[in-house]
Amino acid sequence: MAGNRTFTMIKPDAVESNNIGNILQMITDAGFTIKAMKLRRLSEDQAKKFYEVHAERPFYMELVEYMTSGPIVAAILEKDNAVADFRALIGATDPAEAAEGTIRAKYAESKAKNAVHGSDSDENAAIECAFHFADEEIVG
Ligand code: RTP
Ligand code: MG
């Protein structure tokens, strides 16, 4: 059914600070089901392509450098209203503005190194899931 999947990455800062387990616990406690998951290190080309929409932004090269600085955990999550509910669970981009109890409030270092990614629309969720996973890597 459309709209019940989102895509997430646990970003290099959160992997480095040993928070993979804590973040996955928060995600599953919030009612999301993990449909696919992998630990991977993005190449520069992959990070540039993934964040292509931000290519003209001043932070683009810093973002690409950060996202290639260490491994990330990529995952496909399923839940009713997945995209909006996951954005609510992760909190605002800048952890200083993220609501208390959100993943970024708890685990993000800064606006740039902000622990997790969450898709911003159903359309982008589908694109991002396909960017990281082949159909046979997603559980039925
Ligand atoms: P994301 O796409 O990773 O879920 O984050 P978001 O929607 O909350 O934020 P977005 O505007 O899409 O920005 C993508 C990522 O770029 C980095 N960023 N750095 N230094 C800065 O001012 C700045 N602004 C954004 C963050 O890693 C942000 O998540
Ligand atoms: Mg975004």
For residue 120, the domain's CATH number is: 3.30.70.141
Region 87-99: mean pLDDT is 98
Convert the pLDDT of each residue in 4-22 to its tens digit: 999 999 999 999 999 999 9
- The arithmetic mean of pLDDT across residues 106-131, rounded, is 98
**pLDDT computed for residue 2 by the predictor:** 44
Question: How does the average pLDDT of the chain come out, rounded?
Answer: 97
Q: Is 6 in the pocket of ligand 1 (CB under 6 A)?
A: no
pLDDT of residue 41: 98
Residue 3 above 90 pLDDT?
no
pLDDT of residue 1: 47
Count of residues making up the chain:
140
Helix (H) or strand (E) holding 129: helix 122-132
Measured in Å, residue 25 CA sits from the centre of ligand 2 at 22
- Looking at residue 96, what is its pLDDT? 98
Q: Please identify every residue annotated as catalytic.
A: 117
Q: Please tell me the predicted confidence (pLDDT) of residue 140.
A: 86
Domain count, the chain: 1
Q: What is the pTM of this model?
A: 0.96
Q: Tell me the Cα Rg of the chain.
A: 14
Interface predicted TM-score (ipTM) of this complex, two decimals: 0.96
DSSP collapsed to 3 states, 52-116: HHHCCCCCHHHHHHHHCCCCEEEEEEECCCHHHHHHHHHCCCCCCCCCCCCHHHHHCCCCCCCCE
- Work out the average pLDDT over 78-105: 98
pLDDT of residue 10: 99
Q: Strands 5-10 and 116-118, how do they pair?
A: antiparallel
How far is the centre of ligand 1, averaged over its atoms, from the C-alpha of 120 (Å)?
A: 11
Question: Does the beta carbon of 112 sit less than 6 angstroms from any atom of ligand 1?
Answer: yes
Question: Which structural domain range is residue 63 located in?
Answer: 5-137
Hey, which of 87, 114, 116, 127 would you mutate to test ligand 1's pocket, going by the most ligand atoms within 8 Å of its Cβ? 114
- The pLDDT, as a whole number, for residue 84 is 98
